[in-house]
Structure 1
Amino acid sequence: MPETPWLDAEQQRIWRAMLGGTTVLNDRLDRDLRTQHGISMPEYEILVRLSEAPERSIRMAELAASVAHSRSRITHTIARLERHGLVSRTKAVDDRRGVVAELTDAGFALLQEAAHTHVRGVQEYLVQVVEPDDFRALGRVMEAVRANLHGRPF
């Protein structure tokens, strides 16, 4: 077994700050969306991805990959959104085995409202509390992490 490269004290402090910060930030953004719009952060993220797709629709497998969720988790989340009339599912035209999720007009309308809440939260809870250079550094760090792990099974 290879030797474990333990974190030094500074690395441990930074790691714990990142864990704590991302947890409270995501929890707060999620709470804002739930209380004001009745949707969760993962549901919001799915609505955003659908809104950005051509004709506001995307294959379920592609959607799962784009939000880094398992196919079963996406299926359950889409089912909830479908029950609320925010998303519909149909068989793929080019491949009858595939399923396509489509953002409904009601889903798009909800997303337009929820986007204001979400972006205000990101501004207030993150962007406005750090220096611009630190925010850019955070972007570089998370992009490097994403690039390193992209495509790896989770």
Structure 2
Amino acid sequence: MKIRVLIYLAIGLLSGCAAEIARQAAWPETLPPQAGFVGHYEQDRNNAELQNLEQYLNWIECFYLGRELYSSGWNQISGDLAANITDPGIRLETEAKLRRLGIAIAGEWAKDNSVRRITTRHVAIWGNALRKSAERGEIPDIVEGPDSSWIA
């Protein structure tokens, strides 16, 4: 009986490892490294009690790539914002700032609704403000992302 329990436990653990390997292999190259988000997830025990890592990483992907209801993800939005900047040096600097901003927002927004500090409403408001700023040519001046040093 004990051997049977050990076999079932081993099979369960191995399948969990396989799922994690599949998740890592499927991580889109257009997203920041997954390891940084995993580390951020692991630091928030309150969120981990409410949401598993797979769910968290799925929401990270949703933020960057968009979904059916909101097809424009952060990759497209930030690319569109930076594309309007004609000075190559300022464009590169702005792209880096947008990358850091996206990492910080995604890491918090992807958490369970009851613990996150950035809501979908916040993201929509910021997105609209960024678009308006781009229309006025103010993106390089206003984009200052919060600290995202937790990302690898």
| TM-score, scaled to structure 2 | 0.29
- Structure number with greater CO (CA < 8 Å, separation at least 6) is 2
| TM-score, scaled to structure 1 | 0.29
More strand by share: 1
